[in-house]
Structure 1
């Protein structure tokens, strides 16, 4: 299994196109979208080529390949124009022997998601910061992952995306350089 992970597009047609070109060139089982797809939000600057209608036109044809969760900038009006569900606060995915808990990060975070067993994974967006680390909570270990932001990275980080497999998680720049990675 191999999943392409994007978060925090914030309506950028430029970065959505770049990332979807990378996605289409690879062999991925699904495209995981971790929220904040169309709207830039009141706290963010406009991303490069802010064009939510273009982002809609790029994502909708991939509706059967997408698993998405709702971000804090996603609203019911966004769901009305997207052909795949985006309003869930979380999703669960089995990755071999691991459970993957996907959430944007504004409702559930790496310290509050339901940790069931050693080696589970919390995959989030929201902070716009790339994270790939092993952590401990309540006597169990888990993996905290965040692909960073596709369009509005913070703290000097590059625009990025993630690739999730049974063996681990890697965060890549748009030039294909590995930014961070963790093995499971």
Structure 2
């Protein structure tokens, strides 16, 4: 299963369209959305192309191919616009001999009972990374809309036991084998 991982869309229809183009170009099977889908949040600026309704409509076209988790900027009312569930704080993806946990990243990471070699995917910080931390792997695809620290907008691709972080042109920024 090949996942395209998008996080922290924050209601930007323009940025989501770029993310969906990357999903198609990368021949992804599923879209894994790591929260903060429609609302920009009170601490963030209003992003370029901010249009939560059009963002929801575009995501709904992929509803059967989406796995999503709830972010700290997602609200109950957001679910009324979406044709796929976003209420779960985390999901566990099928993996060979290990656990892959996907969450937004605003919850305590210790609560996921990770074992050596497991992968934790999260968003929330808007800063991409892919590294081993102790005996587990931790990755963040960054944000397609509001990247921080001068980093480019980015997303992830998970295929088997390999993870890539890419900029919106598809150029590799990081690679992780786990």
- TM, length-normalised to structure 1: 0.93
Partner of 2:153: 159
SS in 1 for 2:80: helix
Moved more, 112-121 or 51-60: 112-121
Moved more, 26-35 or 58-67: 26-35
Moved more, 92-101 or 6-15: 92-101
Superposed CA RMSD in Å reads 1.1
Partner of 2:102: 102
Q: 1:119 aligns with which of 105, 117, 131?
A: 117
Give the conservation status (yes or no) of the 8 Å contact 1:131–1:148: yes
For 1:161 and 1:181, the matched residues in 2 are separated by: 12
Instruction: Structure 2: give runs of 5+ residues left out of the alignment.
Output: none
Instruction: Structure 1: give runs of 5+ residues left out of the alignment.
Output: none
Q: State the Cα distance separating 1:118 from its structure 2 match.
A: 1.6
The CA deviation string for residues 63-84 of structure 1, in whole angstroms up to 9 with x for no partner, is 1100000000001000111000
Partner of 1:180: 174
Partner of 2:59: 59
Q: Whose strand fraction is larger, Structure 1's or Structure 2's?
A: 1
SS in 2 for 1:175: coil
For this pair of structures, how many residues does the alignment match? 178
Partner of 1:128: 126
Written as runs of structure 1 = structure 2, the 5 A alignment for 1:21-60 is 21-60=21-60
